Amino acid sequence: MPAFKPAYLIRGDDHGRIAERRRRLRALAEQESGAQGVELFEGETATPDAVATALAALTFAIGRRFIVVDGVERWTDRQLEPLAGALTAIPPDTTVAFFAREDSRNKAPQRLLDAVKKAGGDVSAEDSVKPWELPKWVIARARELGLQVEPDTARALISHVGDRQQRLMRELEKLVLYAGSGARIDTVMVDELTAPSAEHRAWSLADAIVSGDPQSATSLYLTLRSQGERLPGLLYWMSTRVRTAHEIAAALEAGESPAQIKRRLRMPSRAADRLIADAGRAGADKLRRTIEQLADLELASRGGGSGAGGEDTAALLAIQRVAA
């Protein structure tokens, strides 16, 4: 467990990164002291006076006490008189963490920066990275997650998913889930695993259908539709994935070994193992019928069906039927 300083101020205009820092600190705090050891100040409750009062209050909690304060970019130097005094006498078993999501108009007050430093705390900035610095930023974030990423791979990732740092961070987290900590990520893995979100989630939806998980399939479908994804586009990616699973199942039933099939698949090892296992359990016949039902659903979605009560109703019924 890390040693905590008495105070932290995390500020900057990279709001996604600040949210990550807040989540990580809260998780560490709850691991150290339990949920009862963490006090949150956000919205209307996040005022300098309220935090100063909390710092001065006695507590009967066991272990270190954590006070997490959001929205300090709205504070002004003039409001900080009571809090500045409280920060000079933080109890030895207390940590207070301030988070400021800054923009062109709102900044963490300079007096708070000075008070945190004077208290023996840490002030860190999470600012948006310039475009030419993004590859280095990606490599550094990947290293924090335990991934090895070369400059050409970092550039490929940026080209593939865009330059938003929060999106890049999500894709790196996705890569570590698939490849595992310590893995070396190459451009092939970037192309396979960091496809545009609709495409990737449609594959996940198809994987849930192949593995026989109607609850997950339904949830993924509803999520994609709520984000504005169109049914024909989803069906294209779903059908592509299910066809791959059908080819795998047919090859297994023809006597090919999983190792032989795996060598033909352009996907990370663990993802390939999972798809091969799911396809084998489903069997070629079921997957062939699934392809046919997806084709019927695609026809209906394009106006050629028999008049189901809305394309979403037809899609959900089909998903439940083929995943059951």
pLDDT tens by residue, 58-72: 776 678 899 999 999
**Chain-wide mean pLDDT for the chain?**
85
d(CA 81, CA 55): 14
Q: What are phi and psi of 12, to 5 degrees?
A: 145, 175
Helix 284-301 vs helix 269-282: angle between axes, to the nearest 10 degrees?
100
Per-residue pLDDT, 130: 83
Least confident interval from 54-58, 107-111, 194-198, 233-237: 194-198
Amino acid at 55: L
DSSP state of 128: P
* pLDDT attached to residue 195: 57
Predicted pLDDT at 119: 93
Q: Give the model's pLDDT for residue 305.
A: 45
Give me the mean pLDDT over the 102-108 stretch.
Answer: 89
Q: pLDDT category, 46, cuts 50, 70, 90? A: very high
pLDDT at 310: 66
Quick one: pLDDT band at residue 105, thresholds 50, 70, 90? confident
Residue 163 DSSP one-character state? S
Q: What is the CATH number of domain 197-323?
A: 1.20.272.10
Report the C-alpha gap between 215 and 211 in whole angstroms. Answer: 11
SS3 at position 29: helix
% pLDDT > 90, the chain: 36
Q: Which is more confidently placed, 115 or 213?
A: 115
User: CB count, 10 Å around CB of 246?
Assistant: 22
Please enumerate in sequence order all residues whose Cβ is within 8 A of that of 287, keeping only pairs 6 or more positions apart, or say none: 210, 242, 245, 246, 249, 279
Question: Is residue 309 predicted with pLDDT exceeding 50?
Answer: no
Whether 232 has a pLDDT exceeding 80, the answer reads no
CATH of domain 7-125: 3.40.50.300
Counted residue by residue, the chain has a size of 324
Q: Which residues, 6+ apart, have CB-to-CB distance to 23 below 8 Å?
A: none
- Residue 148 — pLDDT band, cuts 50, 70, 90? very high
Question: Which has the higher per-residue pLDDT, 118 or 321?
Answer: 118
Give the pLDDT band of residue 111 (cuts 50, 70, 90): very high
Beta bridge partners, 7, equal 96
Q: Read off the pLDDT of each residue in 293-302 and give the average, rounded to a whole number.
A: 76
pLDDT given for residue 67 in this prediction: 94
Write out pLDDT tens, residues 22-41: 988 988 888 888 888 899 99
As a whole number, mean pLDDT of residues 294-317 equals: 67
Provide the angle, in degrees to the nearest 10, between the axes of the packed helices 197-210 and 269-282: 40
Rounded distance, CA 7 to CA 95, Å?
5
Residue 303 has pLDDT above 70, yes or no: no
Instruction: Tell the CATH topology of 131-193.
Output: Helicase, Ruva Protein; domain 3 (1.10.8)
What are the C-alpha distances in Å from 65 to residues 80, 82, 93?
22, 20, 6
Q: What is the pLDDT of residue 118?
A: 94
What pLDDT, in 10s, does the model give residues 249-288? Answer: 999 999 999 999 988 887 767 778 888 998 998 899 989 9
- Check the CA dihedral 11-14-19-21 and report its sign: negative
pLDDT at 156 over 80: yes
- Within 180-256, residue ranges assigned H as helices are 187-193, 197-210, 214-226, 231-253
Q: What is the dihedral of CA 57, 25, 117, 99, to 10 degrees?
A: -90
Domain residue extents for the chain: 7-125, 131-193, 197-323
Task: Please check the confidence at residue 79 and state whether its pLDDT lies above 60.
Answer: yes
